[in-house]
Amino acid sequence: MGTPEFARVSLEHLAGGNFKISGVITQPDRPAGRKMILTPPPVKEYATAARMPVYQPESARSGEFFELVKHIAPDVIAVVAYGQILPNEILEYPRFGCVNVHASLLPKYRGASPIFSAIAAGEKTTGVTTIFMDAGVDTGDMILKETAEIGENETCGELSGRLARIGGEVLVKTLIQIQNGSAKSEKQSEAGVSHTKKIDEKTREIDWSQKAKHIHDQIRALSPSPAAFMRNDGKKIKIYKSEIIDPAAARTGALDFFCGDGGIVRILELQPESGRVMSSRDFLNGRKIL
């Protein structure tokens, strides 16, 4: 069970392993893009191309959903960013349980946006954890963990791609251990629990009175989507890439912003309202300084 690109990578790893994939459950096709064209999720696209049976029920809490799972009759369910909360009857159905791939080092950053939250908090390391799912949100017993460093300028999209590959590898290792009976699990400590941040308009808008590092982390945590933004003449400008520079290196011809702590954030890539994504140099050509 999975939906976005992060989950597609795990499915690809499973397809390359010694497993029988009895069925793939993903979210229904949704409108996407400026023209709101009905678009299949990445997991469906991969599964269809690989001729795997694909199912797209609207609700995981319907009787039809449970009947579907019983029809597929899985020994184990791998859940990766599916996007719906599974009821107990589903969690308890497979004889080897439901295994989830979560993109953090649990118990830190439980919830729906762990990669964004880790970057926004200025973390230098994160990782992937596989767990046996229970009724809570990312509270199940941990099976395997893999740590990953976070680059100083790495964006959420870039880190997500790396963690997706790590997640696929860790999921395969986890299922092999379950298959041969060597899997061991441990309960999560309540001491280090934290939860993911909610992404809303306030989270996205840049406040230049904040510290330079806070702003830089905000920009990369929200890149490429939904993207941090600033306002210029009442119009939004999305910011995708930035870097922190030494104040002595500030210069004309660059989008350098002094922040609340005296540090400077240089904007490298942006998108004006109703415009295309461009470099800051292209943006400045023929425009007045902000």
**110-165 pLDDT per residue, tens:** 999 999 999 999 999 999 999 999 999 999 999 999 999 999 999 999 999 999 99
What confidence score (pLDDT) does residue 97 get? 97
Render pLDDT for 204-223 as a digit per residue (tens, 0 to 9): 999 999 999 999 999 999 99
Give all domains of the chain, ordered by start, each with its CATH number. 5-180 (3.40.50.170), 201-284 (3.10.25.10)
Q: 76: Cβ–Cβ under 8 A, 6 or more apart, which residues?
A: 94, 95, 96, 97, 98, 99, 175, 178
Beta bridge partners of 49: none
Distance CA 237, CA 127 (A): 31
Report whether pLDDT(288) > 80.
Answer: no
The reply to whether the predicted model has a pTM over 0.75 is yes
Q: What is the rounded distance in angstroms from the CA atom of residue 74 to the CA atom of residue 129?
A: 22
Mean pLDDT for 83-92 is 96
